Structure 1
């Protein structure tokens, strides 16, 4: 299992207790883990397609979506992270900051504060910055953004048109765009989301 928990340097590392949350004993390599997580995510996407009229901007939905995306693979799926990570806020602030982000997004929608793409991308960035879960935050945030943009009448984002799991140019572009958004420049993340 040497490569099972190997991740790019900019990915969120799992601590020992979180690693013990792996539910599937057949998963022994990183490829197995990626396959299992993707199958679970595909099921979550199908679940969301059956619930088009649900209120997306609630903590309940945010946590249920993560559970649906990773709950067949990880015991902690849909649960707030308890430890500090290489990204994200202090765990004790997660619910406060998440509630504020969701209220902000609702305000942006209700008042047309930004174009729909920007609302979805700002929500995505906020979720990544908070990092509510032990892992899967980027994938979760991208799906949340896709759900919001569809609800607002737009098409889902392409997110560079490839997989962001592995080290490479695409992932580097995504991380650079997130860092620009950290500095309040959302143009690169908007461009990346539609590239």
Structure 2
């Protein structure tokens, strides 16, 4: 029997453990569509929160708080690094260390203008989503963090294909292909997609 809320039939959703699923906050949610809508409302609240303050994106505490602000009205585990294995991302025990290393590396890139600003922000977003630090919401979180870093570096936020990347679509497939190319050290497709 399938669960209409937690069906894992598309690549857009990271499978959650039973314990993670049990931490859904709104009790009215029974369908994937309702979950997506609740998360989108929460993400909008997170964007409002981050827009009203001076922020240092390159800080692991900020990145956890951003995730909490984006998903904390929907999931009890929001803002907490995952402790369970995933089919993507690194081992859970390495997450805190890898996020701190990412932040340090990107600070160095910014201070030394190692890459153009857009490329620094896209590389940051890609590496963050590759770590996959949270039970879910990693793509949306990493794209928002990339946008915030781009703005901190004097650039416009990215368009990321200009549509919802949660639902299956050709644009989502293009995004996944660009991520896979970046995984293979070809950042050009992801750079182009970020501004498409």
| Inter-partner Cα distance in structure 2 for 1:193 and 1:46 | 22
Aligned pairs, number: 194
8 Å CA contact retained: 2:121, 2:150: yes
| Inter-partner Cα distance in structure 1 for 2:7 and 2:168 | 11
Quote the residue 2:24 is aligned against.
Answer: 22
SS in structure 2 of the partner of residue 147 of structure 1: helix
1:137 deviates by 0.2
Q: Deviation string for 1:88-140 (max 9, x for gaps)? A: 00000001111110001101111000001100000001111100000000000
* Aligned pair partner of 1:38 in 37, 40, 44: 40
> Does residue 178 of structure 1 match 2:179?
yes
SS in structure 1 of the partner of residue 40 of structure 2: helix
> Does residue 101 of structure 1 match 2:106?
no
| Inter-partner Cα distance in structure 1 for 2:61 and 2:98 | 15
Superposition CA RMSD, Å: 1.1
Question: If the length of structure 2 is used for normalisation, what is the TM-score?
Answer: 0.96
User: What 5-or-longer segments of structure 2 have no aligned partner?
Assistant: none
1:11 deviates by 3.0
Q: Deviation string for 1:20-62 (max 9, x for gaps)? A: 01000011111110110000000000111111x2211111100
Quote the residue 2:119 is aligned against.
Answer: 118
Question: If the length of structure 1 is used for normalisation, what is the TM-score?
Answer: 0.97
Quote the residue 2:142 is aligned against.
Answer: 141
Quote the residue 1:192 is aligned against.
Answer: 193
| Inter-partner Cα distance in structure 1 for 2:64 and 2:85 | 18
1:160 deviates by 0.2
8 Å CA contact retained: 2:147, 2:158: yes
| Inter-partner Cα distance in structure 1 for 2:141 and 2:183 | 18
> Does residue 60 of structure 1 match 2:84?
no
| Inter-partner Cα distance in structure 2 for 1:24 and 1:34 | 12
| Inter-partner Cα distance in structure 1 for 2:21 and 2:12 | 18
